[in-house]
Amino acid sequence: MTSRTLVAELLIATPLCTAAAAALVPHRLLTRTAALGAELTGAFALALVGITLSHPMQAQVGHWVTVDAAAALLVGVIGLVGVASVLVSPSYLRTMTGSVEHLQRRERGYFCLLFAFWATALAVPLAGNLALAWLLVEGTTATSALLVGFSGKPRALEAGWKYLILTSLGLGIALLGVGLLAADVPRHGLAGLSWPELSRYSGTHQQALVAYLLVLAGLATKIGWAPVHNWLPDAHSEAPPPVSALLSGALLPAALLVAWRVEQALAPVLGREAAQRALIGFGMVSLAVAVPFLWQALAWKRLLAYSSLEHMGVIALGIGFGTPLALAGVAVHIVGHAVAKALGFYAAIPLLDHEPRSGGHAAVGIGRSAPPLGAAMGISLGSLAGLPPSPLFASELLILAGGVASGHALAAAIATVLLALGFLGLAHTLLEVVAGKSRRHNQARPAGLAPVVRLACVSVALLLGLLAVAFTLPSTAFISALMRGAA
């Protein structure tokens, strides 16, 4: 057993053990146990990232476990967002007024589900096999659907059911594609669906294309690409804010990585241009659908949900363009989006205490009535809009430049216009949130503000550090490893 495999196993086992411990420990130790489990999981995630990225070209690719540059990138993101979500959860639990569970079991059930969801999400990028990856992505649906409806409110329960049904239906379509691929791989059994074995698919070009599109269309429901994104606004806006952060910043790109791996594995059969064209199509449609919503006065969490649709589209474009410039942009975008989006969702905890009607209406003038909260929201929204010095501005430039370099100048030009329109919509909302006329005159400190302010300071440091390295990434071994994939 290699050090990477050992650390990967510990990484998955730790949150699972913490979920079990949360069900058993005395209630007075529950929060401390959750924090300890989160810190240990974060440490293992950091260790795996460090071990892998110290030699990014030396990927470990097996039939069941793959630890490569792409896996390290996603493990780092999911680990970071997961730790923050666990640490901010006590603030959320103190402010919630209802739950599907009895008051005495509420916190215990919440942490059990949260750690089980986190463990499954961490396992997705490490899956070395399409069948295993599909099973893990489906596994995230069960725990996250329960968390979406955790408040017990009618709208939350409806959003949980909608999420469960639509994503399960989509993954059923993906399973059909997996079955078609399994029928024509040289090696029989599930081991034949490992990423290296898929590249030796022996069916015809047409059969491979049909299977690829079925897998991609099915995964699109989980990623939140348009036009199969219908669950996303409701689920993200009704879930507990720490769960919304994990859904948007961690799970969506993890499911997208599975689609990326399938594209890389089938490129020898389909041709790289044909394999990438579908990703570009999903990216363009997602951007086009998201922009009109970004111009509307939406409730805070609902606005962040539609922003996820836009950013998953941007990442799909970068993967579809497939040049070193574009993939450097993808790496920066995945990390920057996760940091900024998680901060935005965490800010919803004090926001709902400060202005309860913001759960269903646009937040206005928060910078005047609660300046620290307004600053945190402004950092999140400004970063997501791509307002310099946001690293997402740099990542979008890299992706668009990569599109031109790959020969997709028209797609890059259309994407530029759509991104500019999205920026204008989010910039208007940013002004309203920070400097608009406040509905509140009460200057009392909102509950749960202190951890959000601390996370805002950490987020600024991470975002500026990401910006500092963005333009040096294309020539690094890390990007070369992303280009090669799980070979």
Q: How confident is the model at residue 442 (pLDDT cuts 50, 70, 90)?
A: low
CA distance 300 to 346: 11
What amino acid occupies position 61?
V
What is the per-residue pLDDT for 98?
55
For residue 219, what are its two tokens? 């995964």
For the chain, what is the mean pLDDT? 91
Q: Are strands 66-67 and 60-61 parallel, antiparallel or unpaired?
A: antiparallel
Q: 275 versus 49: which is more confidently predicted?
A: 49
What is the per-residue pLDDT for 363?
86
What is the per-residue pLDDT for 392?
97
What is the per-residue pLDDT for 186?
79
Across the range 441-465, mean pLDDT stands at 86
Q: Is the pLDDT of residue 104 over 70?
A: no
What is the per-residue pLDDT for 101?
56
Helix (H) or strand (E) holding 77: helix 69-95
pTM of the model: 0.95
Instruction: Tell me whether the omega of the peptide bond preceding residue 227 falls within 30 degrees of 0, making it cis.
Output: yes
- Bridge partners (DSSP) of residue 66 are 61
Q: How confident is the model at residue 151 (pLDDT cuts 50, 70, 90)?
A: confident
Q: Domains of the chain: which residue ranges? A: 271-487
Question: Dihedral through CA 92, CA 96, CA 100, CA 103, nearest 10?
Answer: 100
Q: 440 versus 392: which is more confidently predicted?
A: 392
Q: How confident is the model at residue 486 (pLDDT cuts 50, 70, 90)?
A: low
Q: How confident is the model at residue 263 (pLDDT cuts 50, 70, 90)?
A: very high
| Neighbour tally for 297: CB within 10 Å | 12
Q: Give pLDDT tens digits for 423-432.
A: 999 999 999 9
For residue 199, what are its two tokens? 């590249």
SS3 of 69, please?
Answer: helix
Q: Is the pLDDT of residue 214 over 90?
A: yes
What amino acid occupies position 228?
V
- Give yes or no for a contact between 240 and 151, defined as CB atoms under 8 angstroms apart: yes
What is the per-residue pLDDT for 189?
66
